[in-house]
Amino acid sequence: MTRAAQLPAIAWAVLAFAALRSTELINAWRHSPLDRFGWIAFLVWLSPIAASVAKPSPPGFHAAGPWLLGASLGASLIGIVADLNTANYLGLAFAVAALGGWSWQHALWFASAIAWMPAFSWAGQGLPRSAIIAGRIVATSIASFPLLWSLISPKPHHATP
C-alpha cells in the first residue's frame, strides 16, 4: 500500500483548505513579472513529497504529523484574520510537508519553500528579474534533490551473518 493511501482524511482536508487559501499564488505566478516562474520552483519543491507518497510505506509508517497539520491550520487562520497571503502560503507549505512525514533531512527542504512564494521576489526586488528566477530554481533544487535522491535511491541490503 502506498503512503498516500495511508494518509488520514484530515491530512487531505487540511491540504485542500490550505490550497484554497493560497489560490492567490496562481495570480502572482501568472501576472507578476518577478513571480512569473515561481510555479517551476514549486514543482521542484514538490518532487520529494510526490516521490514519498508514491512509495510503498514501511511498517509503522506515520505521516501527517499532527504538529505540521496544526501549523498549517494556524498559519492559514493567521492569513485569514490578518489578510496576509504569505501566512496562507506558509500554511500550504506545512500541509504539503505533513504528507511526506518529517525528519531532519526535511528541514532544509522546508526552508526552501520561501523560494516559490512571492515574498522571495519581494525580498530580492532590487535584483534583476533573471537573478530572481534563477535563485528560485537553484534554491529549491539544492534543497529538494538530496531529499529526493534519498527517497528514490535503492537502499543497500546488508546480509545478516
Q: What percent of the chain has pLDDT over 70?
A: 84
Cβ-Cβ contacts under 8 Å for 132 (sequence gap 6 or more): 34, 120, 121, 124
The residue ranking higher by pLDDT, 102 or 77, is: 77
Res. 105: pLDDT tops 80: no
Q: Tens digit of pLDDT for each residue in 1-25?
A: 555 556 678 888 999 999 999 999 9
Does residue 35 have a pLDDT over 50? yes
**Domain limits, the chain:** 3-152
| pTM attached to this predicted model | 0.84
In 58-159, which residue ranges form alpha helices assigned H by DSSP? 66-82, 85-99, 106-111, 118-123, 129-152
Burial class of residue 6 in the structure, from the number of CB atoms within 10 Å of its CB (0-12 exposed, 13-18 middle, 19+ buried) = middle
